[in-house]
Structure 1
């Protein structure tokens, strides 16, 4: 099952006994903080969870799979995630 913003807010609502509006605002605020930090080019490190990093990709040659013709893909920025050792161990049942 995928964890959605709505489901996260419900867990915060029940776990911390916040009212529904406060739980939604908490989730939204956290996500906005993460987005604005990544947008500015900074990394986001959450101890025990992992690190979101912004990487710059160079322009490169690609191919249109539908037509087979070559194309130049523009430079871009992407977000990557590297999980912490603790999270990796937990996922692997250690």
Structure 2
């Protein structure tokens, strides 16, 4: 299996695809990350068509088990970031 693409490699690929320079591609990538982070942290959702939908999900208080002691204890309610991969991306991976 190949190593994941680094940010530097992603920026270079974006710049090439956009026909732009790396500075512009870096700015675009950082702006997308900032928008997604801000929206999801405020409880919203962001869909990047053809890629994924990012959302914040509230989880209720629940009982959890300490694996070291086996003791069960309550875990307070919290929030979780969820990403749902778009069907188009899933289908592109499973082409026969």
Scaled by the length of structure 1, the TM-score of the pair is 0.85
Q: Does 1:75 align with 2:77?
A: yes
Q: Which residue of 2 aligns with 1:87?
A: 89
The residue that corresponds to 1:57 in the other structure is 59
Q: How many Å separate the matches in 1 of 2:25 and 2:77? A: 38
- Counterparts of 2:91 and 2:85, CA distance in 1: 10
Give the corresponding residue for 2:40. 38
Unaligned runs of 5+ in 1: none
Cα distance between partner residues in 2 of 1:46 and 1:20: 22
Q: Aligned to 1:66, what secondary structure does the other structure show?
A: coil
Aligned twin of 1:23 = 25
Runs (4+) of structure 1 exceeding 3 A deviation are none
The alignment of Structure 1 onto Structure 2 pairs a total of residues equal to: 94
Deviation of the 1:3 alpha carbon: 2.8
TM-score scaled by length of structure 2: 0.84
Q: What secondary structure does 1:72 align onto?
A: strand
Give 5+ residue unaligned stretches, structure 2.
none
